[in-house]
């Protein structure tokens, strides 16, 4: 008799008393129910990369393509870029695992657009007679990546400090 009452009617798993108490207290104190967390795999790494592109019609133009993708989709993304711009015209010059590829892409685009570069989609184009070359672009993107790491570290340390202060 107790085994039937201990079963949850909605699932085949065991009855979770902690979750049931949490749901009851949320209804009792008018707290919003927990949002359903998406099923993310923390072991899938996201990568951010930069490809150097040479335009055959105008070799004096300096172009770079930025991309980000999760590890299983990385080869497919790079192949799509190679198909779009031509495989002979580009080479991979920077690729690194990141916390959020979209955030790093936005910060890179924002940084270069503040330098009056032409940023359209995933394409970065240096203005004519610019002193930027591949090494300088990689150094700038590495610095932006380091700043992102520093922001995340500072956020975690501030949360840790507040948690330890009000424990």
Give 4-44 pLDDT, tens digit per residue: 444 445 555 677 888 888 888 888 888 887 777 766 677 78
Beta bridge partners of 68: 48
Residue 158's pLDDT is what? 93
Quick one: 111 exposed, middle or buried, by C-beta within 10 A (0-12, 13-18, 19+)? middle
Residue 51's pLDDT is what? 93
pLDDT in tens, 68-121: 999 999 999 999 999 988 888 888 999 999 988 888 999 999 999 999 999 888
CA 127 to chain centre: 27
Distances (CA, A) of 160 to 146, 149, 150, 164: 21, 16, 15, 6
Beta-sheet pairing, 90-98 with 123-125: unpaired
Cα–Cα distance for residue pair 97/84, rounded to 1 Å:
24
Q: Which residue has the higher pLDDT, 40 or 57?
A: 57
Block residue for tokens 């700043």: 147
Contact status, residue 107 vs residue 48, Cβ threshold 8 Å: no
């Amino acid at each position: 008799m107790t085994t039937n009452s201990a079963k949850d009617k909605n699932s085949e798993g065991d009855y979770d008393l902690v979750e049931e108490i949490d749901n009851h207290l949320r209804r009792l104190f008018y707290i919003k129910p927990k949002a359903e967390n998406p099923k993310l795999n923390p072991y899938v790494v996201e990568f951010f990369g930069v490809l150097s592109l040479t335009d055959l019609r105008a070799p004096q133009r300096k172009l770079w393509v930025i991309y980000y993708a999760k590890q299983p989709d990385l080869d497919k993304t790079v192949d799509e870029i190679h198909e779009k711009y031509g495989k002979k015209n580009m080479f991979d010059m920077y690729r690194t695992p990141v916390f959020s590829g979209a955030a790093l892409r936005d910060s890179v685009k924002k940084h270069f657009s503040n330098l009056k570069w032409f940023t359209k989609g995933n394409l970065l184009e240096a203005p004519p007679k610019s002193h930027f070359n591949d090494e300088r672009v990689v150094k700038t993107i590495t610095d932006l990546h380091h700043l992102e790491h520093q922001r995340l570290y500072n956020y975690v340390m501030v949360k840790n400090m507040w948690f330890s202060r009000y424990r």
